[in-house]
């Protein structure tokens, strides 16, 4: 019976490679975010240096140049943070679930990759989501005059939910590691 399970076990183990196209798709998404960053950067230069109209990403109710620049820069930061999130998922997920990258000794190896596992990856992703949510919330506060109280309240509630979720994930990961270390 054991010999009949070996091929099945091999097939199950090889099935992890079905995730490889998913990570390639995320790399394509990363390229899209680089493009969006460059477009927003061009708009920022156009507004700040060339006197162009505000980009479409800035609400039409905002007319102050300083606020337009600030909202555009926050948009750039948002794109960078999402790109960082993508890198964490691509590199960390591939390393954790598909195959080792064998980067030991490589000068560009991310420090966090040496101790990544599914729990650490979840906590890092949750922290990245909090950062992204913080940028969106800051943009909301800057443009509070153009939004209803209900919209602002729901964005705060969603942000606080992200914060509590990250705390819960970190706490569960810590409990899991302390229990594993005792055994």
What the block records as the tokens of 92 is: 């960390």
- Cα→Cα distances 169→18, 132, 148, 173, Å: 27, 17, 32, 6
Q: What is the pLDDT of residue 183?
A: 58
With beta carbons less than 8 A apart as the criterion, state whether 123 and 166 touch. yes
With beta carbons less than 8 A apart as the criterion, state whether 52 and 43 touch. yes
pLDDT digits (tens, 9 = 90+) for 10-59: 888 888 899 999 999 999 999 999 999 999 999 999 998 888 888 888 87
pLDDT digits (tens, 9 = 90+) for 96-143: 888 888 777 778 777 777 667 777 778 888 888 898 899 989 888 888
Give the range among 18-32, 58-72, 78-92, 148-162 with minimum mean pLDDT. Answer: 58-72
Q: What is the pLDDT of residue 52?
A: 84
Task: Reply yes or no on whether the pLDDT at 2 is more than 60.
Answer: no
At residue 71 the predicted structure's pLDDT band, cuts being 50, 70 and 90, is confident
Q: What is the pLDDT of residue 5?
A: 62
- Cα→Cα distances 76→33, 34, 36, 81, 171, Å: 10, 10, 9, 9, 32
Q: What is the pLDDT of residue 3?
A: 54
Q: What is the pLDDT of residue 55?
A: 84
Task: Reply yes or no on whether the pLDDT at 1 is more than 50.
Answer: no
DSSP 165: H
- Tell me the C-alpha distance between 87 and 30, whole Å: 8
User: Which residues in 57-92 are b (16+ Cβ under 10 Å) and which e?
Assistant: bbbeebeeeeebebbbebbbbbbebbbebbebbbbb
Higher pLDDT, 5 or 2: 5
Evaluated on CA atoms 150, 156, 160, 162, the torsion sign reads positive
**Number of Cβ atoms within 10 Å of the Cβ of 18:** 9
């Amino acid at each position: 019976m054991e010999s009949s399970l070996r091929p099945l076990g091999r097939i199950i183990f090889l099935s992890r490679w079905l995730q490889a196209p998913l990570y390639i798709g995320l790399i394509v998404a990363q390229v899209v975010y680089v493009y969006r960053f460059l477009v927003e950067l061009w708009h920022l230069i156009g507004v700040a240096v060339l006197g162009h109209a505000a980009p479409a990403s800035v609400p039409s109710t905002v007319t102050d140049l300083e606020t337009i620049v600030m909202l555009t820069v926050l948009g750039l930061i948002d794109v960078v943070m999402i790109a960082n999130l993508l890198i964490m998922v691509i590199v960390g997920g591939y390393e954790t679930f598909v195959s080792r990258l064998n980067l030991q000794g490589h000068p560009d190896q991310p420090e966090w990759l040496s101790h990544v596992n599914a729990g650490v990856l979840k906590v890092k992703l949750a922290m990245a989501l909090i950062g992204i949510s913080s940028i969106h919330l800051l943009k909301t506060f800057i443009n509070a005059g153009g939004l209803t109280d209900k919209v602002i309240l729901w964005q705060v509630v969603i942000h606080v939910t992200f914060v509590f979720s990250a705390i819960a994930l970190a706490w569960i990961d810590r409990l899991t590691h302390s229990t594993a270390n005792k055994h």
